[in-house]
Each structure stands twice: as structure tokens, then as C-alpha cells.
Structure 1
Amino acid sequence: MSRDIDVLVLGGAGVDTIVHVPELPLPYADSYMIQPGIETRAGQTGDFVALGLHSLGLRTHHLDLLGDDPEGDLVRALHRDRGIPLTEVHQSSGTKRAVNLVGPDGRRLSLYDISRGREEDRLPERTVRDLAASSRHAHVSITHPCAFALPILREAGVTISTDLHDWDGENPYQEAFAYTADIVFVSTTRLPDHERTMRKIMENGRAEIVVATAGAEGAYVLYDGEVTHVPAVPPLTPVVDSNGAGDSFAAGFLYGRLAGEPVGRCALYGAVAGAYACTVPATRADAISRAQLLDQVPEPEAPAAAR
């Protein structure tokens, strides 16, 4: 069977409105005068993962629901301008949107508009099956319609990854994603004991690798029974915004995994890609290129006998 798609990205298409604020948390006030202003651009978690994978040279295809609205037009334009194939399913309630409050230190607080979704929303089974049949791997966003695509992907025989984002380790909503995927990414933000949660994911599901990202503290990788700490990589230019850093980490890690690299090197790729994302202003959608990534990750030394 021909596999002409390296990674099928499901879900996570939408737009963010960026609002720069003087501090986070933002104290109550009647009004604030802000700079550099308010700007709306395409790019939510699935868009950023797709962009990151595409920039690293992987054949990437994005599938999600989009509305016939200005926000949907922005998402379509992003994919068209970057050359990322997009299969869209009509969303009558509109394209997903969010407001990101961004502080001077690059931290963000996201407000998601959940009115842009319905209980009955689904990705068409035939479309998912056809695209999965042509894919090596699927990365699944934790949006409602994607939960129903998980069994279809499993039947298709593709490997699956997902990002649980700021899961608390207890909310049952994320469990279907956590226990179905082969590679699971999760943030440590709301985890009182990240190692316990990582092992819980592996014990209750089919994950081969669990990665817990911890921002400036780096990341933790559970593989082959061992938890390894991966230090953060200092970015080459100043940090301006953390938006999309986790998505970029996932893209870098998956690039290494699909290339057959050792898990430790995959995590290093992820750390470099995530650091690059922190140097990109929130008002732009950008990702590290393969050349930039490989330039920052030296080739491993050959064994002495091979020299």
C-alpha cells in the first residue's frame, strides 16, 4: 500500500486573536492601553503541528472542520500559502477561535470559544479511512470530533500520537486519547506528580513513549521503563512568546521518530524546535526548518573502533 503522507494531522485548526497585556495575571481595571495592539491570525494546535512537520520536510496533510467564515478563510490561506494540503469538513457553527492574552515575558493565557462546536460534530469515517490508508503516522488533536476517529485510525494500522496539553491526570475526557496513542505528549503544568501520570498512561494504554514537557525546565521522557530528563535548549534569539512551543516540540520529536532516530535524539530535536517557537512573535505562524534544526543538533560521535 502506498503511504504518500508521512503525517496526517487531525483537528486543531482555528484562529487566535492576540492581545498583548502589561502583566499576567491581569489585575482588574476599567481599561488598559496596550501595545503593539490586537491582531488575529490563523494557527491553533493542529495548524502549528502541521506547519512544524511541513517545515521539517515531512509530507503532511491536515484534516479538520472549518466554517464558511472569515476565520476559516484565514486557516485556508495559511495552508495554501505554506503548501500544506488541507481537507476541510464543513462546520456550520463556525471555525474554532480563541483569544490569547500575552504578557511581556512571553507567557500566555488562552480563552477558547466553545460555542464553535456541536455534540454531533464528526470527521467523516470514509475520509478518515482514506487518508489514514495513505499515511505513515497520525497526530490527533484532543478536540471532540477526533475522539471518534481514534478507533478508525487504530484499525487502519497507522501509529498515533497525541498531545494532552495541560491535562490534570484525572479528567476522563483525555483518557481515550492518552490510552489509544503510541506516543503521548503532555504538559507538566497541572500535574502534581508528572512521573506517576506518565506511568499511568503507559500502564493503562498502548503508549510506547510518553513525553512530559516542562517549559524552561525541559522535558521528561518515559521509554523502556526509564524516565529521562531532557534539558531545555537555550534559544538563539530572545524569547518573545511561548505560544506553539509544545506543538513545535511534538513536531521536532515526530520528525526524529519517523526518521528512525533514537528516542533521546528525538527529544533533543523537540527541545530545539520548541525553543525556536519561543522566539516567534505571537502574531506570526512560523516554524524551524530542517536545515536550522540539524544545524543546532550535532551528529553523534562515531564509536572509537569506527574512527
Structure 2
Amino acid sequence: MTDSPDIDVLVLGGAGVDTIVHVPELPLPFADSYMIRPGIRTRAGQTGDFVALGLHALGLRTHHLDLLGDDPEGDLVRAFHRDHGIPLTAIPQPAGTKRAVNLVGPDGRRLSLYDATRGSDTDRLPADTVRTLASASRHAHVSITQPCAHALPVLRSAGVTLSTDLHDWDGENLYHAQFAHTADIVFLSAAALDDPERTLRGIAAEGRAREVIATAGAKGAHLLADGRLTHIPAAAPPSPVVDSNGAGDAFAAGYLYGRLTGHPPYESAVFGTVAGAHACTVPATTTDSIALAALLSRAEEALRTTHVPPAHAGRD
């Protein structure tokens, strides 16, 4: 990853607003109506927002770039970045700011409903803006939105290293594959994978990724680095699990913090599991990210009680 005087991580895409609805169970049985407690709340924060927040909370200089509408949802996103002190470059989006409804069950599981009308095939992040910000960045993390797909060649030409999160990719969808095969670090969920190792090795073989990580919730994560596949145990949550929303974004932020500060992939993945476990203790109606001191202390404890494979010991 290259040196930079200005930005550690440029986050592209993934800005938006979620409406959180707590439901008695998932899947939700049909009924004429439900009484919702603790209520229904709309707040800023989708995948790019959460990654940016996680990186910023860990002390990395972070800049977020995306399209936003001139609407109440866009105002919430702008206020989110302003209140947390995260620089934001917002490109006007005539169709409006991205929004979703998250149904959250008592066990913390989530079902997301995305408003597909808030965008069009012609949406673009201006190439000059992408190039200028990428050239001032050590690394770029790319959301799998359509404008970011068109930005991939510009990012590669700027010489910045890339990461992306494929979320619950099935290993086959060609839209996701373009991100998987362009990024240097690839995150994804193992939820839809029959054979995680085959998918991880396929990403590495067909693209340029040197590190591929599949998160598996309470089962931990699978790390493919330097051709070796390693299981990373799940970190113990510091308090009861209330919501899994944002756990994958927190994992990515923790992992990238590790790599950008010189830690090897295995240690970085432990940072990711610790950050992800913390995120599961944060209610969906709020936004919070693990602080650096807590991340380091909990990761140190996890590494002390876990056998680190010899091939992964030490720093890069």
C-alpha cells in the first residue's frame, strides 16, 4: 500500500439511510398488523458509512465519496459525517439518496429491503474527482454499487490498492465478479457459499487479490493469504448480541486498520473479528464503532489465548 500525505482510506459508495423495524421473528408471518417495539427509527448509515466510521474511529484518515440526493435522507447522511468528523464528497443524485428498510429479529438477524428506485444505470462518480481523491490516498475501499463499478478502471489507473466487500455473493453472479477480480483485498460473507475454500481460491486465481476473507458470523472467518487457508476463531462479544447489522463493515474496518498499520493478515483478521463482535452489541437504531484502545486490548487477549499458525506469526 502506497504512502500518502492526505488520506489513509478513500471509501467509495455505500452512503444511505436505513429505517429499522424490530419484528417478533424472522421470517415474519403474515398478519394484518404488528405493534412494533422499541419503535421504528430512520437513521443514516449503510455499508460505506459504517466502514468510514469504523476506520475513522480507529484513527485512520478517511474520506467518503458517493452520490447523495437533495432530500431529507441526504441531510441525515451529511449530518452523520459532519457529526463524526468524517470528510465527505457528495455528488448530486437526482433520483435521491439510497434508502432501505431493515427488519431485525430478536436474535439480531436482519432482512434488508432496498429501494431500487434511488439510482439509474447512468449514475457515475466523476472520473476527475475519483482520480484526484485516489491519488491522494493510500488505499480505497469500494462498495459494490453501480457507480463504483464504473470507477474501478479509474482507481486502478491511479495506482491505489483496492478492497471490496461482496457481502452475500453466491460465487457465481458476474456483477460481483468484476469487483472480486479487481480488488487486492476481498471481503465476503460465507452465508451463501456451499464451499467457501473453493470460492476464495477462485477469487485469488482469477483476479489480483492477495488476501480473501470470508466471514462466517459466530463461526469466525476464513482467511486466504499467501495461498494458505486459515480459520480465524470468532471473538467473544463484550456484551449481549442485539443486532448483526454492520458487523461485516466493522470486520472490514478492523482488518484494513491492521494491514495499513503493518500487521500481518492473521492478526488483521483477529482485529476484524473483534470489531465485528463489538458491532453485534450495538442496537440497529444507533451508530457506534469500537475505539482503538478497546480493539487493541481485546485483540491482544484473543491472540494470547489462540494458537497462531507459525506461518502467520510476526509482522509484514
- TM class by shorter chain equals over 0.9
Which residue pairs with 2:126 in the alignment? Answer: 124
Match of 2:200 among 187, 198, 201: 198
Matches within 5 A, 1:162-241: 162-241=164-243
The runs of 5 or more residues in structure 2 that have no matched partner are 305-316
Provide, for residues 8-64 of structure 1, a one-character-per-residue CA deviation record: whole Å limited to 9, x for no partner: 000000000000000001011111111001000000000000000000000000000
What is the 5 A alignment of 1:52-67?
A: 52-67=54-69
Q: Distance in 2 between matches of 1:198 and 1:277?
A: 25
Give distance in 1, aligned partners of 2:80 and 2:87: 10
1:96 aligns with 2:98: yes
SS at 1:35 equivalent? coil
1:18-29 equivalences in 2 (<5 Å): 18-29=20-31
SS at match of 1:265: helix
Distance (Å, rounded) in 1 between the aligned partners of 2:80 and 2:17: 10
- The percentage of counterpart residues that share the same residue type is 73
2:35 aligned partner? 33
Match of 2:117 among 115, 118, 139: 115
Deviation of 1:3 after TM superposition, in Å, equals 3.3
The one-letter code of the counterpart of 1:235 is: P
Q: Distance in 1 between matches of 2:177 and 2:267?
A: 28
Deviation at 1:237, TM superposition (A): 0.6
Give distance in 2, aligned partners of 1:61 and 1:144: 19
Residue 2 (structure 1) shift: 4.6
TM-score, normalised to structure 2, is: 0.94
Report the secondary structure of 2:117's partner residue. helix
Mean CA deviation greater in 96-105 or 286-295:
286-295
> Residue 253 of structure 2 aligns with which residue?
251
* Residues 3 and 133, structure 1, Cα contact 8 Å, conserved in 2: no
Question: What is the rounded CA distance, in whole Å, between the counterparts of 1:175 and 1:133 in structure 2?
Answer: 25
Rounded Cα–Cα distance in structure 2 between residues aligned with 1:297 and 1:173: 35
Unaligned runs of 5+ in 1: 302-307
- Give the one of 279, 282, 307 matched to 1:280: 282
Aligned partner of 1:193: which letter?
D
* Aligned residue number for residue 134 of structure 1: 136
Question: In the alignment, residue 219 of structure 1 is paired with which amino acid?
Answer: A
Work out the CA distance in 2 between the residues paired with 1:76 and 1:221.
35
Equivalence for 2:9: 7
- Give RMSD over aligned pairs: 1.0
**Residue in 2 that maps onto 1:43:** 45
Task: Give aligned pairs, total.
Answer: 301
1:203-225 Cα shifts (integer Å, max 9, x gaps): 00000000000001000000111
Aligned match for 2:71, one of 69, 72, 79? 69
2:4 and 2:138 in contact (8 A); partners too: no
- The amino acid of 1:214's aligned partner reads A
List structure 1 runs of 4+ shifted beyond 2 angstroms.
Answer: none
Please give the TM-score of this superposition, normalised by the length of structure 1: 0.97
CA distance in 2: counterparts of 1:223 and 1:298, whole angstroms: 21
Distance in 2 between the 1:2 and 1:261 partners? 18
Q: Deviations over 1:205-261 (max 9, x none)?
A: 000000000001000000111110001001111000000000000000000000110
Supply the distance in 2 between the matched residues of 1:298 and 1:241 (Cα, whole angstroms): 25
